[in-house]
Amino acid sequence: MVSPLAYIHPEAQIGDNVSIGPFCYIDKNVVIGDNNELMNSVTILSGARIGTGNIFFPGAVISAIPQDLKFRGEETTVELGDNNKIRENVTINRGTAAKGRTVVGSGNLLMEGVHIAHDDIVGNGCIIGNCTKLAGEVNVDDNAILSACVLVHQFCRIGSYTMVGGGTRTSQSIMPYSICAREPATYCGLNIVGLRRRGFEREVINTIHEAYRIIFQGGLTLADAVATIRRELPPTPEISYILQFIEDTKQRGFIR
């Protein structure tokens, strides 16, 4: 399962049933779980911690040092979950002293040319389109979809079940369950199609829609909008998540 044209450092830990193609490079201080497939010319550098069942396409570079001038060579990691598809020329940099690790969960599709910078945290079930770039310390919550050529500023957060349109540039967080697009980036409504496809019931969708009507169209300050939601809407998991998201993103704010 290992090409004679691949290089594997003798200290690297490789699981069972791992396929490693020609011209792959696997550094020391690397752990690769079972049932992974590395096509040709994949580079796995020091600090990588890779789960099971992932597929790496040619040119992917995992756990290169951060592109951050504050980095001083500290021991940090990239932690990759299970059953991810990492397409051609994807780069995932390891963490810095800020968090110590970059994390990509399970079941994600990272398309060609995606960059995941230092200390990012990407959840599960996300789709990140061709040439999308995440700056440092960005969080992408579960089941978010970022289309091609999206640029995300450092310290931003992308909410769950969000759809971000191609070519969008954002320096603020993007609310869960929403559609964000245009130039400059704007809230474009609820991601109703995406929520239906994910099995959200009509009543749940209507509750989220009402919360966003209050936030985005109610003419209220953000504090008053939050108070109105707490007073008028049921404390469902979705509403609780929205309110916590607002609280957690106060410093940078979110697209409105």
Instruction: Judge whether residue 31 has pLDDT over 90.
Output: yes
Q: Which of 27, 95, 118, 120 is catalytic?
A: 118
Residue 115 falls in the annotated catalytic set: no
Tell me the average pLDDT of the chain.
97
pLDDT in tens, 72-99: 999 999 999 999 999 999 999 999 999 9
Q: Which of 68, 119, 120, 141 is catalytic?
A: 119
Q: What kind of fold does domain 7-137 have according to CATH?
A: UDP N-Acetylglucosamine Acyltransferase; domain 1 (2.160.10)
Q: Which of 47, 59, 81, 136 is catalytic?
A: 136
pTM score, whole prediction: 0.96
> Domain spanning 195-248 has what CATH number?
1.20.1180.10
Q: Could you tell me how many helices (H) and strands (E) the chain has, helices first?
A: 4, 27
Residue 118 falls in the annotated catalytic set: yes
Query: For a pLDDT cut of 90, what percent of the chain falls above it?
Result: 97
Distance from C-alpha of 66 to C-alpha of 73, rounded to nearest angstrom = 9
Distance from C-alpha of 29 to C-alpha of 121, rounded to nearest angstrom = 21
User: Can you give the residue ranges of every domain in the chain?
Assistant: 7-137, 195-248
